[in-house]
Amino acid sequence: MTHVKSRFIYHSLFVYKYSNPCLSYSTSCCLKASSNGHQAGDQKFKSYNEEKEIKHKGFMKAWQLNSFDGVKAIQHSDAVKVPYITDPNDVLVEVCASSVNPLDLAMANGYGQNVLEAIRQVTKGSLPDIFSGQPEFPFPLGRDFSGHVVDKGFNVHDLDIGDQVFGVVSPHRPGAHAEYTVVRKPQKLNHTESAAIPYAALTAWSALCVTGHISSRNASKMRVLVLGGSGGVGTFSIQLLKHWGAEVVTTCGPEAVELMLRLGANVALSYTDSETEGELLSMKGFDVILDAAGTNNPKYLDMLKPWKYSKYVTLSPPFLSNTDTLGLAGGLLKNVFELTSSNILSHIKGSSYRWAFFTPNRYALKEVRNLLDDGKLKKHEETSIANNEIDVLSY
């Protein structure tokens, strides 16, 4: 994961917006502070700052994706309108830093375009074209952000103007007022550090808790294998599991073995070692295998505990790639077939094969923030770049 530090200034603001289809990197962020599913309409609602006649006017600079041709299709614009509060549940966030996830780079090449466009059409109240939905451009990318509140609607009571916050926007939500997850940021981290956390941490939480059914109540009785422990999701998964009391085994590159042990893994094995597979098999089974490396190798099903309701959880399901290749209708049919086929193999031994996805979860983000402030979670070191150097992502 790579940070993108915003250096675009508008009236001393570093701003992001996900509510206007014309915006992307380093614009304004006008987001919903509740998850009640209420959608913003065209009416402009009064906000706290507007009552004081403090209004954001004019244009600002932004990065916009104009086609699915990768990073080279991200273009700079200095004529993007600064947003305003359009719903009493909205919050306007002045973003000081954001991050670039692998998902953003994949989406720049068209990954998931059919499903994500269909969901956007549904949220706008129209029926999706199940055969060939046409994406809207310019298309904003970017999931994570960290900054502070500069304006809010009158229904927002748990955040105040000036609060330092961090959060994440769902992949299918760019370009529209949307539900999202935002809480006060960790006190011990700066904005650049905070911006690298939400998407990876909440993906790990979703995979472990929602899909894997692991929690602080049952983790102490579990042995969990994390494939690809040195990535963003993997490092948070290992730390969460260890904090909850699970026995953690992980695979990683040889250079990351020591890091995995420092983060709390009981055993860290290099995937380049020819003896790793044998060592894993000798451990007599895992309650949950979290595949954060995208291996999707059936051999790991044999490492699950038989007839113990054990689970293989993958974070690289073919869900979006199938719909990209076959269209929405054909892709969904293939997804049903593939998931059913995989579970026939696993159910024979009393286990299950599951697909995991990022899920916005405000409670989880608060828990992650508290663990970071308490020193029980550690941020994995990343690379920081300036926003005007975004072209380096193509190398």
Backbone Cα Rg of the chain = 21
Domains annotated for the chain, with CATH where assigned, are 2-197+379-394 (3.90.180.10), 202-355 (3.40.50.720)
Burial class (CB in 10 A: 0-12, 13-18, 19+), 347: exposed
Q: Is the CA virtual torsion 103, 304, 376, 264 positive or negative?
A: negative
Instruction: Give how far Cα 153 sits from Cα of 41, 124, 176, 222, Å.
Output: 14, 21, 17, 44
Which pLDDT does position 5 carry in this prediction? 36
pLDDT at 255: 96
Rounded alpha-carbon distances, angstroms, from residue 124 to 81, 127, 140? 21, 9, 17
- Residue 52 sits at φ, ψ, to 5 deg, of -95, 10
Per the CB < 8 A criterion, the answer to whether 185 and 166 are in contact is yes
- Closest residue by Cα to residue 28 from 174, 158, 172, 194: 174
d(CA 218, CA 240): 13
Contact 212/75 with Cβ under 8 angstroms? no
Contact by Cβ (8 Å): 56, 19? no
**Amino acid (one-letter) located at 114:** N
Report whether the peptide linkage leading into residue 138 is cis, meaning its omega lies within 30 degrees of zero.
yes
Query: What local confidence, expressed as pLDDT, does residue 125 receive?
Result: 67
Task: Extract the tokens encoding 300.
Answer: 């790991």
**Residue 223 to residue 355: CA distance in whole angstroms:** 20
User: Residue 383 has what pLDDT?
Assistant: 59
| Tens digit of each residue's pLDDT, the chain (395 residues) | 444 333 222 222 333 333 332 222 233 344 444 333 333 334 455 566 655 444 455 666 667 788 888 888 887 777 777 667 777 877 888 778 888 778 778 888 888 777 777 777 776 666 656 555 566 777 777 778 888 888 888 888 888 999 999 988 777 654 322 345 678 899 999 988 998 899 999 999 999 999 999 999 999 999 999 999 999 999 999 999 999 999 999 999 999 999 999 999 999 999 999 999 999 999 989 999 999 998 888 889 899 999 899 999 999 888 888 788 888 888 889 888 888 888 887 777 889 999 999 988 999 999 999 999 999 998 865 555 555 555 544 43
Check residue 30 and give its pLDDT.
40
The b/e string for 364-385 (b: 16+ C-beta within 10 A; e otherwise) is: bbebbbebbeeeebebbebeeb
Distance CA 259, CA 252 (A): 10
Q: What is the 3-state secondary structure (H, E, C) of the chain?
A: CEEEECCCCECCECCCCCCCCCCCECCCEEEECCCCCCCCCCCCCCEHHHHCCCCCCCEEEEEEECCCCCHHHEEEEEEEECCCCCCCCEEEEEEEEEEECHHHHHHHCCCCHHHHHHHHHHHCCCCCCCCCCCCCCCECCCCEEEEEEEEEECCCCCCCCCCEEEEECCCCCCCCCCECEEEECCCCCCHHHHCCCHHHHHHHHHHHHHHCCCCCCCHHHCEEEEECCCCHHHHHHHHHHHHHCCEEEEEECHHHHHHHHHCCCCEEEECCCCCHHHHHHCCCCECEEEECCCCCCHHHHHHECCCCCEEEEECCCCHHHHHHHHHHHHHHHHHHHHHHHHHHHHHCCCEEEEECCCCCCHHHHHHHHHHHHCCCCCCCCCEEEEHHHHHHHHC
